[in-house]
Structure 1
């Protein structure tokens, strides 16, 4: 169990301490992982940005993920997406893409996204059940030429970690239980992170 997301971030930073001095780019998946990313970027003397990815929910059942889409349009669909009408799935993809564009304008209004080309990139999330969101982020980033691509998570089931290992150069996951039910079960404090905190942390206003 972690006390909170910052506890998990401290442990991940220790596991990745060898990156200090190599100017890593820490890319957090909003919103929950942004406080984690801020702590890790400071600890590893790197830069912080967000990688914008949205879950694609099943038509009529938005909580059930059938894939994920990233802000550059990269799409990772699960096999289950075939069970739904293509036009309904496409509507959901378009909706999530519009939300990503709006989120980028809100989160980093005065600068473009930091270019990952040639950088050691660490993609951080508090955890992942299916790996769909992290997989979409890794796939999108791989095409942009990072020097090394690392996935860092608080908790995920073993099959999800195995899936991500095929997409990243390294996966660091602190908890990999077989009886995984939900990410929140591993955190004593799992409060929602609000947009205002994300904007503050990305702006560098931190103590």
Structure 2
């Protein structure tokens, strides 16, 4: 169910609006050929617009949250494409058993591999070594997925690693401080509820749209990002 268009707390019309605002703040990276890594699926519309605005390249970074054995909407950690698991404090609070964590990690890793085959069929992942990397998503709640993404990208030794999101819970931003060289967030409300609450339109991004966004060539914007 989409966030209501009458939501007075919404900061953004939709992901495209959020991406354009985010691109303006990241405008100092234009011309440096950044590699923009989007976290699917919601991060793809953000990443495509940011990559175009910065004359950059777009790819995906594939990580999946590990769900609580009590509530599948609650993340107790995340896993990256190489199978590295990051657990958060909730794993201990909820007393998540090792058996559940192993099973959940295996299930989510299978999803990652399937998604890689679907998102970039026949294409190798882009080498991040020595490049400016900007990891984007449409928002952060617990931040578990973004943390796993940054850990995975850092292993590739980028020249500079940036995390950029339109909206986030303040606590999740604090947890990124030691993982990224720069953290950019447009809105971090003290009373954070859910990401969708800050969008008038927060519709799902389907596989067809993911493929279209990834296969579209970078189209540089004609006017400067920062007027």
Q: Quickly name the TM-score band, shorter chain normalised.
A: over 0.9
Q: CA deviation at 1:63?
A: 1.3
Aligned: 1:168 with 2:151: no
> What is the TM-score normalised by the length of structure 2?
0.88
Map 1:111-150 to 2 at 5 A.
111-150=123-162
The size of the alignment, in residue pairs, is 207
Q: Deviations over 1:76-95 (max 9, x none)?
A: 10123230211111000000
Gaps spanning 5+ residues in structure 2: where?
A: 1-10, 220-227
The match for 1:52 is 62
Q: Could you tell me which of 94, 106, 109 is aligned with 1:97?
A: 109
Report matched runs for 1:143-158 at 5 Å: 143-158=155-170
Equivalent in 48, 61, 65 of residue 75 of structure 2: 65
**Offset of 1:180 from its aligned partner?**
0.2
Aligned-residue Cα RMSD (Å) equals: 1.3
For 2:217 and 2:126, locate their aligned partners in 1 and report how far apart those are by CA, in whole Å: 18
Q: Which runs of 5+ in 1 are unaligned?
A: none
Distance 2:84 2:132 in 1: 21
Return the structure number with greater strand share: 1
- Give the conservation status (yes or no) of the 8 Å contact 2:52–2:218: no
SS at the partner of 1:69? Answer: strand
1:54-75 CA distance string (max 9 Å, x none): 0100124221110011112122
Q: Give the Cα separation in 2 of the matches to 1:163 and 1:69.
A: 17
In the superposition, relative to structure 1, how do residues 68 and 16 fare at CA in structure 2: closer, same or farther (>3 Å)? same
Q: TM-score, normalised by structure 1?
A: 0.97
Are residues 1:107 and 2:155 paired? no
Q: Return the offset for 1:103.
A: 0.2
Runs of 4+ more than 6 Å apart: none
Gap change, CA 1:21 and 1:205, over 3 Å in 2: closer
Name the larger-Rg structure. 2
